[in-house]
Structure 1
Amino acid sequence: MDEARAEIERLLGDGRLHLSERQRELLRYLAERRFSGNKEGVKAYCIAIDVLGRTSAFEAGIDPIVRIEMSRLRSALDSYYEAYGATGGIRVQIPRGSYLTRFYRAGQEETPADTVVGVAESASTEQEVSSTVDQRRRLPPPAALYATAAVASVCAAALFAVWRLLGDPDWTEKPIVYVKLEAADSELMQEASLVRESLVSALSRFQTLTIAEPRYAAARAANRVGRTYEIDIRYYGDSGNRRAWWQVVQSSSGDVLKSGLENIGATGRGQSLVIQEVADALARRFAPTRSVINDAELRESPEDAIGNACVLRAEYALETGGPDQIAASRRCLDTTLSRNPRISDATAVLSRILLSDSTATADVVAGVELARKATAEAPLSERAQTALMVAQFATGKKVAAIETGNRAISLNPNSPDATAAFALVLYRSGFGAAGVSMAREATGMSDAAPRDALMVLAFDAYARKQYSEASLLAEQINGRDFSVQVLRTAALGELQSPEAVERLEELRSLDPAFERSGEERFALLPLPDELKAGLVKAGARFSSNQLASSEDK
């Protein structure tokens, strides 16, 4: 037992184990219950009351918070041991299907009997979630999958041939980053070294950058495939807080691209928590798709560049683009994969491109297959897991999507895009409060709020009949796809704004048949009946069958 207690304390003090304060409390709570003789596992109700702050009215079938936090904790432990091993000789596991800790000597771990992800935990909620499932897209039988794959192969070969004829587009790699962190005070040197170690770990979880050692002269002189950047950080501190001044420099030109200052309160908090919070705040500045380094990559890359620049451009298109940008991104990713089919990032993002606002069965089938391929090639990639979550949700597998979303954000808790995408899945799966909470968390991770997070907050405001708030949030969402235009128009319709007529015309130009289309178009949106009511007030004229169907629900 002493060894087990020591391993728990070691884990809680290791900044490389990425846990929130809530998850740390949960790990300690489960361990203490185990040490006190509990071998059957802790009830979800007890965890919700004792650790997660829920009231005595908590119902596990309605509120998924325990399953979400347990899945995050379990995934974080698994990822930690896979990356760093059981250096203390003991490994902690939380078997699927139960809420308890088990301790094994390294190399003697048992395989949980339930190897199907989430089956034991999610069985109690399968019926409840299934009752909220929207009209599902049916996948074709295996023969159709093979035919689709054959067509995709022919198309890829054709694209490759055209690419050869037209000449080689520029191939781009991930940018190379050198991190230099110095303490302003000699007393902070050891702490600053730990901050740098945690920062490098946090940056690597994004898998958008290549991290190298800080040899600046060599970086400028070397003939690199990817562009190089230098992150200079100066670390300050006193008894009350920690401050990290930073600047990002492009190595080739010496230009300072951006600088800033992060302030983290340290009063009454453990050193490991403060170090991790500093590292997380800095990582969110440098590594997301929409950050200073990747912004520079897009500016410097030719518009027809393939490789990493194509992946970044496609992710921007998912956030802000219209149909033309989505189509261009699809062509670019196809060309990238025709040159190197094993780039899991390109595979994952292409999957999301195909599934974005698409009702075409062939696109859904191809998107699902690409997501599976990406996760098989890179199971620890947040991009791949996010793509699989989106694919599972698109085919009505909401329980599986929630489990996969938990894995995605446990792999990279600092990713605003993965957090926002998971928030939208939770919200559209009927877990409104959890989705809104996660959407707010995502908006606090970056200067530019992710699109999916804004969508959740805007739909939530609309559901609460706060139409001015819904309209304001909807206008902040970039892009002109169907769901955004419907939300904007419906909110203005409820407000009886003169602008509603203009927005309705924009919606009609985007989809001239939406007023005559069946229920399927609106079944993919949250609040379909409420949105139709707002559209009617804006001047939309739905068929009598559609309106009758809405009134009967």
Structure 2
Amino acid sequence: MQRILASSEFRASTRRREMLQYLVEETLSGRAHALKGYAIGVSVFRRGEDFDAQSDPVVRLEARRLRRDLASYYVLEGRDNPLRISIPKGHYAPEFQRATPPAHQPGQAAPVGEASEPSGHESNPVALSAARQRSASVGRNVWLAAGAAAVVLLALLVGWIAVQPGPVADERVLADARGPSVMVFPLVAAGETEKDAALAEGLASQIVTELSRFSDFRLYLPPAGHGRDPEEDPLAIAKPLGVSFVLTGRVESDGATIKITSRLSDVATGRVIWVQDFDRAAAVESLLMLQNEVAGAISSALGQPYGIIKTQITNGLPDDFRPSMPSYECVLRAFSYRRSFSAKSHGPVFACLKAAVERDPQYADAWAMLGWLYLDAGRFNLTADAARAYDQGLDAASHAILLDGRNVLALTVLASIHHYMGNYAESEQFQRKALELNPNDPDVLAQLGWRLAARGRFDEGIPYLKQAIERTVNPPAWYYHFVAIDHYLHGRYVEMLDAAKTGAIGESGASWSFIAIAYGALGDKRAAKAALERMAEVAPRTARDPAAFYRLHGTIESTVQALVEGLRKAGWTGPEGS
């Protein structure tokens, strides 16, 4: 508690600091049962003896804010604290929890990142992944400095990881509600040079490290004694173990070029669902840079919210929503909903996530996605009390952070809600922390770029958005919105139209407004009129008052006025002053 109170990153008010100290000390003194609203109001908030906790909500409101203060603290300075203090919703007595997950159960196979540690050390999947990354970097730097001798270091490193066994036989992609399982096989060094062997070994290690940044993946390497013989069939190894996907690859050089091939296969069907080739000059300046580039590209393609694996699973989901739907399926459907933000999909997805967190209360990703749905209820007028929806969204995302202080999805949700509440500095801080934790997630890049552009910082934001688009197979429409606006503000109307059309989806009033603006600027009145009619059809609120819609999303006033002027040129005839 004293560590928290002394931290500059703990941004609670003086009174909430007093509240934290009071709650902790009363609990440690054995009086947790007496922590009621009345006692806290009198002792902490200096209310009189006639204080009524029902009519005066100060204790409830400040407890909610204190929960968020704690969640924010554990994102930043407190992320490595071995003990965490939390205040459960609906209660005032704090709980004290170790930051690391429970030890692996005897008899279960250990995935990558959950291998048994030496006595006296707790196993933390995130920390272990980071340690491996540092170890891999050290090994690779030694190799770069000392030549072939470091090949042994890399082989030992990957060999150590590879002895961790695969999953138990009854695991399936949705069985434990926590995401797909992927077995990463060592890459085959098809060439005969030491460079090929070292790069193949290093890539296997780095791909595991980069994929581990995506919280909902269960990663495995082949069981001991398997996976290193190029004549073995990876599917035959993985299928009895219940793995969903296998990632294989090869490295080959011919003196002039280095060719790296990576392949993802669906274990159940045996079908190859993704192949990517990387051709680079053999005289590449740094094999370490090449290794990081390729591993980052592979992990980004596979792990991102709109990437190969999640798209493959989502396409196979049934059309109907069921009360017993697995929790991970709810999260996937939430991502799918967030492509279009369809109002009719919001209710079923929201109900699915609510059931998921009740059924699986330790599932941080489900809590984070629930935060998104609360935000959308507030900003898209799906509830009469937007402020309360934002508060509930913050609560859900903060709870996800308490469960997993490095959860990138939860950090992004917190950033988005703070943006819509007008807390732009806090929003940027959370989003940059998310980017620091996973620079290979295009959605994280897009979120940061979108918000920077909304605040008029196009020079900073647009490159992030373009990176996100380049790294996504099928980007959501909103990735293109501020790219289109940037083209418009610079007079590039053809480019604006192209970006707006690329990002156009059926129910997006924003997309159709940008198409109308582009056609208006190009002088195509008939096409502009058609786009305006489509905007009015799918988003009547936006059509009535587009300025209010743009402002809702935190867009600075100069951009808002430029867009409204463009709509008027396209033929929009809304009231003056809008």
Give the TM interval when normalised to the shorter protein: 0.5 to 0.7
Contact 2:493–2:518 under 8 Å retained in 1: yes
Aligned to 1:491: 518
1:67-216 equivalences under 5 Å are: 114-115=8-9, 172-180=177-185, 181-186=187-192, 187=194, 188-215=196-223, 216=234
Deviation at 1:414, TM superposition (A): 0.7
**Closer/same/farther in 2, CA of residues 207 and 145 from structure 1, 3 Å limit:** same
Deviation at 1:175, TM superposition (A): 1.2
Aligned to 1:246: 262
Contact 1:208–1:289 under 8 Å retained in 2: no
Secondary structure at the residue paired with 1:206? coil
Structure 1 distance, partners of 2:337, 2:504, is: 10
Aligned to 1:456: 482
Q: Deviations over 1:301-324 (max 9, x none)?
A: 333343222212211221244222
For 1:261, which of 267, 274, 277 is the aligned residue?
Answer: 277
User: Comparing both chains, which one has the higher relative contact order based on Cα–Cα distances under 8 Å and sequence gaps of 6 or more?
Assistant: 1
1:229 and 2:245 are equivalent in the alignment: yes
Deviation at 1:496, TM superposition (A): 3.3
Structure 2 distance, partners of 1:147, 1:259, is: 48
Aligned to 2:351: 331
Structure 1 distance, partners of 2:498, 2:211, is: 33
**Closer/same/farther in 2, CA of residues 265 and 418 from structure 1, 3 Å limit:** farther
For 2:421, which of 395, 406, 412 is the aligned residue?
Answer: 395
Aligned to 2:161: none
For 1:278, which of 259, 273, 294 is the aligned residue?
Answer: 294
Q: Deviations over 1:349-384 (max 9, x none)?
A: 222233245253332222222222222222212111
1:341 and 2:347 are equivalent in the alignment: no
Contact 1:319–1:478 under 8 Å retained in 2: no
Aligned to 2:550: 522
Aligned to 1:437: 463
Q: Give the alignment's TM-score, normalised by structure 1.
A: 0.65
Aligned to 1:380: 406
Structure 2 distance, partners of 1:387, 1:318, is: 12
Secondary structure at the residue paired with 1:532? helix
Contact 1:427–1:436 under 8 Å retained in 2: yes
Aligned to 1:124: none
Structure 2 distance, partners of 1:147, 1:268, is: 54
1:540 and 2:572 are equivalent in the alignment: yes
- Report the residue type matching 2:448 in the other structure: F
Structure 1 distance, partners of 2:64, 2:468, is: 39
Contact 1:385–1:404 under 8 Å retained in 2: yes
For 1:473, which of 480, 494, 499 is the aligned residue?
Answer: 499
**Closer/same/farther in 2, CA of residues 402 and 296 from structure 1, 3 Å limit:** same
Aligned to 1:15: none
242-251 or 477-486, larger mean C-alpha shift:
477-486
491-500 or 386-395, larger mean C-alpha shift:
491-500
Secondary structure at the residue paired with 1:236? strand
**Closer/same/farther in 2, CA of residues 449 and 396 from structure 1, 3 Å limit:** same
Contact 1:230–1:251 under 8 Å retained in 2: yes
Structure 1 distance, partners of 2:571, 2:543, is: 11
Contact 2:411–2:433 under 8 Å retained in 1: yes
Structure 2 distance, partners of 1:388, 1:239, is: 49
**Identity across the alignment (%):** 21
**Closer/same/farther in 2, CA of residues 204 and 354 from structure 1, 3 Å limit:** same
Contact 2:357–2:367 under 8 Å retained in 1: yes
Structure 2 distance, partners of 1:265, 1:386, is: 37
For 2:529, which of 483, 501, 506 is the aligned residue?
Answer: 501
Deviation at 1:176, TM superposition (A): 0.9
Contact 1:358–1:364 under 8 Å retained in 2: no
- Report the residue type matching 1:248 in the other structure: L
1:268-307 equivalences under 5 Å are: 268-303=284-319, 304=321, 305-307=325-327
Aligned to 1:404: 430
Aligned to 2:390: 364
Aligned length: 395
Contact 1:233–1:246 under 8 Å retained in 2: yes
Structure 2 distance, partners of 1:434, 1:397, is: 19
Q: Deviations over 1:373-415 (max 9, x none)?
A: 2222222121111111111111111111111111111111111
Contact 2:546–2:564 under 8 Å retained in 1: no
Structure 1 distance, partners of 2:427, 2:257, is: 39
Q: Deviations over 1:197-249 (max 9, x none)?
A: 00100011122321112255453123x4xx61111111123555432212222
Contact 1:424–1:456 under 8 Å retained in 2: yes
Contact 2:208–2:219 under 8 Å retained in 1: yes
Unpaired stretches in structure 1, ≥5 consecutive residues: 1-110, 118-139, 154-168, 548-553
Deviation at 1:292, TM superposition (A): 2.3
**Closer/same/farther in 2, CA of residues 536 and 298 from structure 1, 3 Å limit:** same
Deviation at 1:141, TM superposition (A): 7.5
Structure 1 distance, partners of 2:503, 2:467, is: 17
**Closer/same/farther in 2, CA of residues 246 and 463 from structure 1, 3 Å limit:** same
Contact 2:368–2:400 under 8 Å retained in 1: yes
Aligned to 1:219: 238
Structure 1 distance, partners of 2:517, 2:456, is: 21
Larger Rg: 2
